[in-house]
Amino acid sequence: HANQSCPRRLGANWSPRLGAWDRSEIEIVHVNELKGGARTAAYMLQYDSVHGKWGTHDCREAADGKSFTVDGKPVGFSASNTIEGVPWKDLGCDMVMECTGNFLTTKVLQPYLDGGVKRVVVSAPVKEPSVLNVVMGVNDDQLTT
């Protein structure tokens, strides 16, 4: 488990309302989302169509129009349709949540690792025997740090 005093810096490729936003051991520093820009990403985070309004959190487009804030904290934003189009490591991301559903083999996920990301968590099943597909509460004890 992550050290509470040193959060993992996380990037998200597509940004649904992730439970990671509310975890102190994780700091989300960048979101890549193709549709709508930073204003829409902030709005979609604030007002989820399934879960409703996100508590008392304040999500809004930053003054520069190129990023957004969550409770005043800046979150980088990009709109690249390729993994290589986002400099994840340069943005400070140790780990990326791959939530597009488009990258589901180790071959197509490799650019994340080649670009310096230490770990990629994919929100859809990766159908390769060498990949650990984790279901929280079922086999998450197999995860290593």
Per-residue pLDDT reduced to its tens digit, 4-56 = 455 688 888 886 556 656 677 888 899 999 888 999 888 888 887 777 788 78
On the 0-12 / 13-18 / 19+ scale of CB atoms within 10 A, 17 is: middle
What is the pTM for the complete model shown?
0.83
pLDDT 10s digits, 62-109: 998 889 999 899 999 999 999 999 999 999 999 999 988 899 999 999
